[in-house]
Amino acid sequence: MTMIPSLLDKNSWNKEDLITLLKAEGPAMEMMLQRSAQTRERYIGNKIYLRGLLEISNICSKNCYYCGIRYENRNIRRYKMTLEEVEKAVRFAYEQGFGSVVFQSGEIEAQPFTEFVTRAIAKTKDISGGRLGITLSCGEQSDSVYRQWKEAGAHRYLLRIEASDPDLFKKLHPTDDIHNLHRRMEALRGLQRMGYQTGTGVMIGLPFQTLEHLANDLLFMREFDIDMVGMGPYVMHRDTPLFEHRHEVPLLKDRISLSLKMIAILRLMMKDVNIASTTALSAIDPMGKIMGMKAGANVIMPNITPAKFIGNYNLYDNKPYVDLYSNASRLTMEKEIENQGFKIGFDEWGDSVHYRQRTGS
């Protein structure tokens, strides 16, 4: 406890400070979460923004060792939604006042997929008269593809770096041209240069991961001057190579508290960025997403993928699913958020304040 209060009063933290903060437990950790909540309130207010998440395709050319939809997993059925299915879900998000949608997919660089996403963006603009915000999370693509999607109307892009440490990255991915940390960083830089609100993130509580790695991840986000972050706990998947290392994964409760501390510290470091409270948090604790919001997150991405595809987008085991097409579950979700004293930013884009400051827009 002794070091934490004085560290919290600082305005900039080096790696050693961050490691100390990541070790905080009990009252010291509570104090940190409170300080983060105050920072959020002061710099960006108490609104939670909703992004309707559509998992438009689980076709993936990559083989990340941790992910359930990796290319070599033959135990799932591959799908790509039709444009009509996308249209229906987008219309639903719009009618519910979700404010934005996120199109997420496996990573594939192919012309028909590029065109499909472009059409989905255009359709979304059309349906909502330009009033729905559009975030993409479709992996590494060429600059020309990123440009095409931006011109079609996407304005935010999430590309998680997964692990910013080169050695850790290598332990989580095959060593080849498409799994390359440098290439991934270049793609992220390209997105930022092109004018996207740019988001990244990492997994927390991975085998082989140390507190130093996590501290460096935070420094990476700050140095990159990122606008949005989505980070959450690593959750095992039995049909992946990393499952072999399940005994080296921190306990569930430790992965939760480490994730909350990462959110809180990032909020202290980057006061006006958008931070998502991720689904992976709910996968290991039913209250996970709420805890993430209380720790400083201001965005959630309720899943509106049609039910028939859901079982085939399991990035990890026990991925939770709430059927938001049911009025009762939607109201429950909204009540849970409002009961914590938050307001939901219905019909708002909820753009990253940091982006506006950074670009003067």
Q: Applying CB under 6 A, which residues contact ligand SF4?
A: 60, 62, 64, 67, 69-70, 106-107, 139
Alpha-carbon torsion 51, 105, 328, 284, what sign?
A: negative
Residue 266 buriedness (CB in 10 A; 0-12 / 13-18 / 19+): buried
Say how many residues touch ligand 5AD, by CB under 6 A.
Answer: 11
- The answer to whether 316 contacts ligand 5AD (rule: CB under 6 A) is yes
Residue 60 or 221 having the CB closest to ligand SF4: 60
- HEC secondary structure over 325-349: CCHHHHHHHHHHHHCCCCEECCCCC
Residue 107 or 272 having the CB closest to ligand SF4: 107
Per CB under 6 A, the list member of 49, 65, 66, 98 interacting with ligand 5AD is 66
Relative to beta strand 299-300, strand 232-233 is unpaired
Q: Which two tokens stand for residue 161?
A: 């770096």
Per CB under 6 A, the list member of 235, 258, 273, 290 interacting with ligand 5AD is 235
Residue 107 or 351 having the CB closest to ligand SF4: 107
Q: Which two tokens stand for residue 14?
A: 């080096």
Contacts with 9 (C-beta within 8 Å, 6 or more apart), sequence order: none
Interface mask toward ligand 5AD for 26-65; x: CB under 6 A: ----------------------------------------
Round to whole Å and give the CA distance between 251 and 255. Answer: 6
Q: Which does 60 bind (CB under 5 to 8 A by kind): ligand SF4, ligand 5AD, none?
A: ligand SF4
CB 302 within 8 A of CB 50: yes
Per CB under 6 A, the list member of 28, 29, 67, 81 interacting with ligand 5AD is 67
Round to whole Å and give the CA distance between 173 and 176. Answer: 9
Round to whole Å and give the CA distance between 146 and 157. Answer: 9
Mind giving me the DSSP string for 58-80? -------TT-TT-TT-TTS---B
Stretch that binds ligand 5AD, among 81-89, 125-133, 190-198, 229-237 (CB under 6 A): 229-237
- The answer to whether 234 contacts ligand 5AD (rule: CB under 6 A) is yes
Residue 226 or 344 having the CB closest to ligand 5AD: 226
Round to whole Å and give the CA distance between 26 and 336. Answer: 25
Residue 20 or 312 having the CB closest to ligand 5AD: 312
Residue 264 or 280 having the CB closest to ligand 5AD: 280
Report the nearest approach of ligand SF4 to the CB of residue 105 (Å).
8
Per CB under 6 A, the list member of 53, 260, 263, 315 interacting with ligand 5AD is 315
Report the nearest approach of ligand 5AD to the CB of residue 256 (Å).
13
Report the nearest approach of ligand SF4 to the CB of residue 219 (Å).
23
The secondary structure of residue 303, as a DSSP letter, is B
Report the nearest approach of ligand 5AD to the CB of residue 259 (Å).
10
Per CB under 6 A, the list member of 237, 255, 267, 289 interacting with ligand 5AD is 237
Q: How far is CA 57 from CA 88, 105, 151, 336, in A?
A: 16, 5, 22, 30
Q: Which two tokens stand for residue 332?
A: 């429950």
Per CB under 6 A, residues contacting ligand 5AD are 66-67, 160, 162, 203, 234-235, 237, 280, 315-316
